[in-house]
Amino acid sequence: MSTFATFNPPPRLLMGPGPINADPRVLRAMSAQLIGQFDPAMTQAMNDTMALYRAVFATVNEATFLIDGTARAGIEAALVSLIEPGDTVLIPVFGRFGHLLREIAERCDATVEICEVPWGQVVDPAMVEEAIRRTRPKLVATVQGDTSTTMCQPLADLGRLCREQDVLLYADVTASLGGNTFEADAWHVDAVSAGLQKCLAGPSGSAPVTFSPRAVEVITRRKSIEAGLLADGETTAATRIRSNYFDVAMLLDYWGERRLNHHTEATSMLYAARECARIIVEDGLDETIERHRLHGEAMLAGVLGLGLAVFGDVSHKMNNVVGVHIPEGVDGDRARGELLEQFGIEIGTSFGPLHGKIWRIGTMGYNARTDAVLTTLAALEQVLRRNGHPTPQGGGIDAALEVYGSTAS
């Protein structure tokens, strides 16, 4: 007889750098019954999802689909499918996730070059241009929004540089997509991967991706077909992509008209990913980004109103997350613990050189709304006071309401 009760997670308001509370519409979509992976209704849902994410990525790329796995699965699929052993890859690093791209590229046996700046800054395109001319990479791989630092790397100039120099550009937009402007085609970004658990308002577990025709050409040169699926007359590439699961060349046949079996689609996550994109398209992409800008601005004003200092170059901060210095004399982990235990609100700590120095507070996805911002600021004020840090009474709320024009929306 089982001794384990049904798991009922405690109520939480997730105001960290992600994951966030999923939109209830996404959770309802996930609860729908399963169907066969080649049922016409299923393949139509896959086609719908591809079309919806073309709108979200601002692209006409046919090769727009989902990788089954967390956001990191999308990163790995893109890099392992584009990089061959010995390729030179240039990575602008301005936070933890630039270092992640470096590690994955190294695991692909690439020769990795980096352009690195201190955390809290973004990389000057002039640095990237010089490095491209010096190292002649096949691929530039970067992050748009790095939640470890809250910074948002401008990509338009990088895309122009890469296109001029005939270099592929990959961008990880997991933390930024849907909350900050991103235009895959206009900015000449050849490969892009994302995740649902931030501005897209879903659960972790599905990674939307898109590949330009230039990227698809590189990938399909390494195309192979599993022996058990190989038809008469078909051949397989001599230098196969080094992952079977993350082989984008095979996945293109799985998501394309051929519907060549690759793996069993993660059906409930497909439902979730489709609904995340459907909501954004229904609300309007520009309107969704503006919502994130508004509530991010209100949170920024609110933490300043509490007397907290903001981390990094605010002119390059993402709309959907702000880093604040932990006040002197305040135990950051203890304060976060009290916020969680007493108010049910989660904010984030940070990594590496910023560990124990800043908190990261998010306003993204379903939680980019007025009541979530005001509730978080009110609770944070009480926790700061109880931990010996004087804050202006109501200072956070008042400053946020100024941004909102003194109305709750």
Query: Could you write out the DSSP letters of every residue in 56-84?
Result: HHT---SEEEEEES-HHHHHHHHHHHH--
Domains present along the chain, CATH in parentheses: 22-281 (3.40.640.10), 284-403 (3.90.1150.10)
The DSSP letter of residue 154 is: -
Q: Is 5 exposed, middle or buried (0-12, 13-18, 19+ CB in 10 A)?
A: exposed
CA distance 63 to 61: 5
Nearest to 67 by CA among 219, 229, 247: 247
Long-range contacts of 41-47 (CB under 8 A, 24+ apart): 42/265, 42/267, 42/270, 43/259, 45/270, 45/271, 45/274, 46/255, 46/265, 46/270
Nearest to 404 by CA among 305, 321, 271: 305
Sequence-distant (≥ 6) Cβ neighbours of residue 208 within 8 angstroms: 53, 56, 57, 64, 65, 66, 67, 74, 177, 193, 194, 195, 196, 200, 273, 277
- Report how far apart the first and last C-alpha atoms of the chain are (Å, whole number): 50
Q: Does the model's pTM come out above 0.85?
A: yes
65, two tokens: 């689909």
What's the farthest any 2 CA atoms get from each other in the chain? 76
294-335, pLDDT tens digit by residue? 999 999 999 999 999 999 999 999 999 999 999 999 999 999
CA distance 399 to 298: 7
153, two tokens: 């790397």
Say what the pLDDT of residue 351 is.
85
79-130, pLDDT tens digit by residue? 999 999 999 999 999 999 999 999 999 999 999 999 999 999 999 999 999 9
3-state helix, strand, coil in the chain (%, to 5): 40, 15, 45
Determine the number of helices (DSSP H) and then strands (DSSP E) in the chain.
13, 13
CA distance 64 to 58: 11
301, two tokens: 């004003």
245, two tokens: 């699961």
Neighbours of 314 (CB within 10 A): 14
Are 130 and 107 a contacting pair, CB within 8 Å?
A: no
Neighbours of 50 (CB within 10 A): 21
pLDDT tens digits for the chain (409 residues)?
Answer: 568 899 999 999 999 999 999 999 999 999 999 999 999 999 999 999 999 999 999 999 999 999 999 999 999 999 999 999 999 999 999 999 999 999 999 999 999 999 999 999 999 999 999 999 999 999 999 999 999 999 999 999 999 999 999 999 999 999 999 999 999 999 999 999 999 999 999 999 999 999 999 999 999 999 888 777 767 666 666 678 999 999 999 999 999 988 888 899 999 999 999 999 999 999 999 999 999 999 999 999 999 999 999 999 999 999 999 999 999 999 999 999 999 999 999 999 998 899 999 999 999 999 999 999 999 999 999 999 999 999 999 999 999 999 999 554 4
Say what the pLDDT of residue 270 is.
98
CA distance 267 to 206: 10
Tokens 């135990």, residue located: 331
Say what the pLDDT of residue 409 is.
46
Q: Give Cα 243 to chain centroid, integer Å.
A: 22
Sequence-distant (≥ 6) Cβ neighbours of residue 77 within 8 angstroms: 67, 193, 207, 209, 243, 246, 247, 248, 251
How big is the chain by its Cα radius of gyration, in Å?
22
Per-residue CA distances from 122 to 24, 143, 153 (Å) = 35, 10, 6
Q: How long is the chain?
A: 409
